[in-house]
Amino acid sequence: MLHILQQPWPWYVAGVLIGLIVPALLLLGNKHFGISANLRHACAACFPAGISFFRYDWKKEIWNFFFVGGILAGAVIAAQLLPDPNPVVLHPALTKELMAYGITDHSSLLPKELFSWSSLFSLRGLIMLAGGGFLVGFGARYAGGCTSGHAIMGLSDLQWPSLVATVMFMAGGFIMANLILPFILHL
Protein backbone atom coordinates (compact mmCIF):
# COMPACT_ATOMS: atom_id res chain seq x y z
CA MET A 1 0.00 0.00 0.00
CA LEU A 2 2.82 2.41 0.87
CA HIS A 3 4.35 1.76 -2.55
CA ILE A 4 1.19 3.09 -4.25
CA LEU A 5 1.33 6.29 -2.20
CA GLN A 6 4.99 6.92 -3.02
CA GLN A 7 4.44 7.04 -6.78
CA PRO A 8 2.86 9.99 -8.58
CA TRP A 9 -0.77 9.27 -9.39
CA PRO A 10 -1.92 9.51 -12.99
CA TRP A 11 -3.82 12.66 -13.90
CA TYR A 12 -7.00 10.70 -14.58
CA VAL A 13 -7.07 9.37 -11.00
CA ALA A 14 -6.13 12.62 -9.26
CA GLY A 15 -8.42 14.65 -11.52
CA VAL A 16 -11.41 12.44 -10.76
CA LEU A 17 -10.74 12.64 -7.02
CA ILE A 18 -10.53 16.44 -7.17
CA GLY A 19 -13.67 16.50 -9.31
CA LEU A 20 -15.56 14.44 -6.74
CA ILE A 21 -14.96 17.15 -4.15
CA VAL A 22 -17.49 19.39 -5.90
CA PRO A 23 -20.58 17.14 -5.64
CA ALA A 24 -19.50 15.98 -2.18
CA LEU A 25 -19.39 19.55 -0.87
CA LEU A 26 -22.69 20.44 -2.49
CA LEU A 27 -24.44 17.30 -1.22
CA LEU A 28 -22.97 17.46 2.28
CA GLY A 29 -24.08 20.97 3.07
CA ASN A 30 -24.23 23.26 0.04
CA LYS A 31 -20.62 24.30 0.59
CA HIS A 32 -18.45 25.94 -2.06
CA PHE A 33 -14.81 25.07 -2.62
CA GLY A 34 -12.12 27.74 -2.81
CA ILE A 35 -8.88 28.56 -1.07
CA SER A 36 -8.61 32.36 -1.30
CA ALA A 37 -11.81 32.85 0.72
CA ASN A 38 -9.92 31.49 3.71
CA LEU A 39 -7.80 34.63 3.82
CA ARG A 40 -10.97 36.67 4.28
CA HIS A 41 -12.20 34.26 6.97
CA ALA A 42 -8.84 34.48 8.77
CA CYS A 43 -8.93 38.29 8.70
CA ALA A 44 -12.53 38.28 9.95
CA ALA A 45 -11.52 35.97 12.82
CA CYS A 46 -8.47 38.05 13.76
CA PHE A 47 -9.98 41.53 13.33
CA PRO A 48 -13.72 41.23 14.10
CA ALA A 49 -14.23 44.97 14.70
CA GLY A 50 -12.10 46.11 11.77
CA ILE A 51 -13.06 46.85 8.18
CA SER A 52 -16.71 46.28 7.27
CA PHE A 53 -15.66 43.74 4.60
CA PHE A 54 -14.52 41.47 7.44
CA ARG A 55 -17.61 41.90 9.65
CA TYR A 56 -19.69 38.78 9.07
CA ASP A 57 -20.25 35.42 10.76
CA TRP A 58 -17.04 33.69 9.70
CA LYS A 59 -17.78 30.76 12.06
CA LYS A 60 -20.27 29.40 9.52
CA GLU A 61 -17.29 28.83 7.21
CA ILE A 62 -14.97 27.26 9.80
CA TRP A 63 -14.96 24.00 7.83
CA ASN A 64 -12.78 25.87 5.31
CA PHE A 65 -10.02 26.19 7.92
CA PHE A 66 -10.08 22.43 8.43
CA PHE A 67 -9.96 21.94 4.66
CA VAL A 68 -6.86 24.15 4.31
CA GLY A 69 -5.33 22.51 7.39
CA GLY A 70 -5.82 19.15 5.70
CA ILE A 71 -4.06 20.42 2.59
CA LEU A 72 -1.10 21.60 4.68
CA ALA A 73 -1.00 18.39 6.72
CA GLY A 74 -1.17 16.32 3.54
CA ALA A 75 1.72 18.27 2.04
CA VAL A 76 3.87 17.74 5.15
CA ILE A 77 3.03 14.04 5.26
CA ALA A 78 3.77 13.62 1.56
CA ALA A 79 7.08 15.49 1.79
CA GLN A 80 8.35 13.92 5.00
CA LEU A 81 6.90 10.42 5.16
CA LEU A 82 6.45 9.56 1.49
CA PRO A 83 9.44 11.05 -0.33
CA ASP A 84 9.91 10.02 -3.95
CA PRO A 85 13.34 8.33 -4.17
CA ASN A 86 13.51 8.85 -7.93
CA PRO A 87 15.42 11.90 -9.19
CA VAL A 88 13.61 14.67 -11.01
CA VAL A 89 13.71 13.93 -14.74
CA LEU A 90 13.50 16.85 -17.15
CA HIS A 91 13.28 16.86 -20.92
CA PRO A 92 16.66 17.81 -22.45
CA ALA A 93 15.13 20.83 -24.21
CA LEU A 94 13.78 22.13 -20.90
CA THR A 95 17.14 21.54 -19.21
CA LYS A 96 18.82 23.61 -21.94
CA GLU A 97 16.26 26.41 -21.61
CA LEU A 98 16.63 26.48 -17.81
CA MET A 99 20.42 26.65 -18.13
CA ALA A 100 19.98 29.81 -20.24
CA TYR A 101 18.19 31.33 -17.21
CA GLY A 102 20.95 30.24 -14.83
CA ILE A 103 19.01 27.32 -13.32
CA THR A 104 21.27 24.30 -13.16
CA ASP A 105 20.13 22.55 -9.97
CA HIS A 106 17.63 19.80 -10.79
CA SER A 107 18.06 17.75 -7.62
CA SER A 108 14.54 18.58 -6.38
CA LEU A 109 11.29 20.04 -7.63
CA LEU A 110 12.31 23.48 -6.34
CA PRO A 111 15.60 24.71 -7.84
CA LYS A 112 17.89 26.35 -5.32
CA GLU A 113 18.58 29.20 -7.75
CA LEU A 114 14.97 30.32 -7.23
CA PHE A 115 14.00 28.90 -3.83
CA SER A 116 16.69 29.76 -1.29
CA TRP A 117 17.31 32.53 1.21
CA SER A 118 20.02 34.08 -0.94
CA SER A 119 17.76 34.26 -3.99
CA LEU A 120 14.87 35.55 -1.88
CA PHE A 121 16.82 38.68 -0.89
CA SER A 122 17.81 39.54 -4.46
CA LEU A 123 16.07 41.91 -6.88
CA ARG A 124 14.71 38.94 -8.79
CA GLY A 125 13.42 37.33 -5.60
CA LEU A 126 11.78 40.55 -4.42
CA ILE A 127 10.03 41.02 -7.76
CA MET A 128 8.84 37.43 -7.86
CA LEU A 129 7.75 37.20 -4.21
CA ALA A 130 6.36 40.63 -3.43
CA GLY A 131 5.22 41.55 -6.92
CA GLY A 132 3.84 38.11 -7.70
CA GLY A 133 2.16 37.84 -4.32
CA PHE A 134 0.48 41.20 -4.77
CA LEU A 135 -0.72 40.36 -8.28
CA VAL A 136 -2.06 36.95 -7.24
CA GLY A 137 -3.84 38.42 -4.21
CA PHE A 138 -5.25 41.35 -6.17
CA GLY A 139 -6.33 39.10 -9.03
CA ALA A 140 -8.06 36.61 -6.76
CA ARG A 141 -9.94 39.38 -4.96
CA TYR A 142 -10.81 41.22 -8.19
CA ALA A 143 -12.05 38.00 -9.83
CA GLY A 144 -14.08 37.09 -6.76
CA GLY A 145 -12.10 33.92 -6.13
CA CYS A 146 -8.97 31.97 -6.93
CA THR A 147 -8.19 29.42 -9.61
CA SER A 148 -9.44 26.51 -7.51
CA GLY A 149 -12.70 28.24 -6.69
CA HIS A 150 -13.42 29.29 -10.26
CA ALA A 151 -11.87 26.48 -12.30
CA ILE A 152 -13.03 23.59 -10.12
CA MET A 153 -16.16 24.78 -8.37
CA GLY A 154 -17.42 27.58 -10.61
CA LEU A 155 -17.06 25.71 -13.89
CA SER A 156 -18.79 22.70 -12.32
CA ASP A 157 -21.70 24.98 -11.43
CA LEU A 158 -21.72 26.31 -15.03
CA GLN A 159 -21.08 29.87 -13.88
CA TRP A 160 -20.25 32.29 -16.71
CA PRO A 161 -17.99 34.54 -14.53
CA SER A 162 -15.96 31.46 -13.58
CA LEU A 163 -15.40 30.61 -17.24
CA VAL A 164 -14.21 34.16 -17.94
CA ALA A 165 -11.99 34.15 -14.83
CA THR A 166 -10.49 30.75 -15.70
CA VAL A 167 -9.71 31.83 -19.26
CA MET A 168 -8.05 34.98 -17.90
CA PHE A 169 -6.07 32.98 -15.31
CA MET A 170 -4.79 30.70 -18.07
CA ALA A 171 -3.95 33.60 -20.40
CA GLY A 172 -2.10 35.35 -17.55
CA GLY A 173 -0.19 32.16 -16.78
CA PHE A 174 0.89 31.74 -20.41
CA ILE A 175 1.96 35.38 -20.65
CA MET A 176 3.88 35.14 -17.37
CA ALA A 177 5.63 31.87 -18.22
CA ASN A 178 6.56 32.77 -21.78
CA LEU A 179 7.09 36.54 -21.78
CA ILE A 180 7.59 38.00 -18.30
CA LEU A 181 9.36 35.21 -16.38
CA PRO A 182 12.22 34.83 -18.89
CA PHE A 183 12.85 38.59 -18.56
CA ILE A 184 12.82 38.41 -14.75
CA LEU A 185 15.10 35.37 -14.68
CA HIS A 186 17.75 37.30 -16.63
CA LEU A 187 17.92 40.01 -13.93
pTM across the whole model: 0.71
Query: Rounded mean pLDDT of 72-98?
Result: 83
| Burial of residue 146 (number of CB atoms within 10 Å: 0-12, 13-18, 19+) | buried
Q: What percent of the chain has pLDDT over 90?
A: 9
pLDDT beyond 90 at 93: yes
* Residue 33 vs residues 16, 55, 69, 130, 132: alpha-carbon distances, Å: 15, 21, 14, 26, 23
Asked whether residue 5 carries a pLDDT value surpassing 70, the answer given is no
- Going from the C-alpha of 153 to that of each of 57, 172, 175, the distances in angstroms are 22, 20, 24
pLDDT at 2: 64
Longest dimension (CA), the chain: 55
pLDDT value at residue 54? 78
**The pLDDT value given to residue 144:** 84
Task: Look at residue 1 and tell me whether its pLDDT is greater than 90.
Answer: no
- Indicate whether 6 pLDDT > 70: no
